[in-house]
Amino acid sequence: MLNSQLKSELLIVVERCYRTAEQCLGRQFPRPEVLFNQRGKIAGCALLQKNMLKFHPKIYEQNKAHFLEHVVPHEIAHLLVWQVFGKTAPHGRQWQHMMVNVFNVPPSRTHQYNVDDIGIKHITYRCDCGDIKLTMRRHNNVLKGTIYRCKTCRQNLMIA
């Protein structure tokens, strides 16, 4: 569980980003609901039609400064682009413009955080290339009949 100090710091950055955007774009924006319940390997996500932001508490906790500087504006940019332009490419030119010209942050699509120790369970599968770890979600899909193939040798993955 994320402590109230870290939550508060992130919410301050959210507000700062919105004030910056309002100043740059010359209009007001409704503030989003902010949740700390993102799961998996995703650092954050923006739910456009709900005006909601979700952040991964463990990834945030382990990468606080970079997360606040990059992930928070990244997700807010998605909401702002939706509110200003409507439906666009998720990381298209409008989003990139928002990142560079409003938030002065490089428009990176994905994070490079180490997610090995955030509690994601893996099951080992095998192909001719060697061992491949699948998440529990993919493992459960295999149990339901989904077949995954190795990206290199194209062989069906088999549980080790």
- Kindly report each contact of residues 151-158 with a partner whose C-beta sits within 8 Å and lies 24 or more positions away, as own/partner: 152/127, 153/127, 153/128, 153/129, 155/127, 155/128, 155/129, 156/127, 157/125, 157/126, 157/127, 157/132, 158/125, 158/126, 158/127
- What is the chain's Cα-based Rg? 19
87 and 12 within one domain = yes
Contacts of residue 110, Cβ cutoff 8 Å, sequence gap at least 6: none
**What amino acid positions are annotated as catalytic residues?**
75
pLDDT value, residue 160: 86
146 and 92 within one domain = no
Give the number of other Cβ atoms within 10 Å of residue 65's Cβ: 7
95 and 142 within one domain = no
- With respect to residue 59, please indicate whether it lies within any of the assigned structural domains: yes
> For residue 60, what are the domain limits?
4-102
Question: Count of H helices and E strands in the chain?
Answer: 6, 6
Q: Are 118 and 125 in contact (CB under 8 A)?
A: no
Q: Are 75 and 44 in contact (CB under 8 A)?
A: yes
Give the number of other Cβ atoms within 10 Å of residue 80's Cβ: 24
pLDDT value, residue 79: 98
Handedness of CA 99, 101, 47, 1 (dihedral sign): positive
pLDDT value, residue 147: 94
91 and 13 within one domain = yes
pLDDT value, residue 83: 97
User: Count of domains in the chain?
Assistant: 2
Q: Give the DSSP letter of residue 133.
A: E
Q: Which helix (H) or strand (E) holds 47?
A: strand 44-47
131 and 97 within one domain = no
- With respect to residue 64, please indicate whether it lies within any of the assigned structural domains: yes
Q: What is the pTM of this model?
A: 0.79
In a structure prediction context, what are the per-residue pLDDT tens digits for the chain, which is 160 residues long?
789 999 999 999 999 999 999 999 999 999 999 999 998 888 999 999 999 999 999 999 999 999 999 999 999 999 999 999 999 999 999 999 999 999 999 998 887 888 777 777 778 999 999 999 888 888 999 999 999 999 999 999 999 8
pLDDT value, residue 88: 95
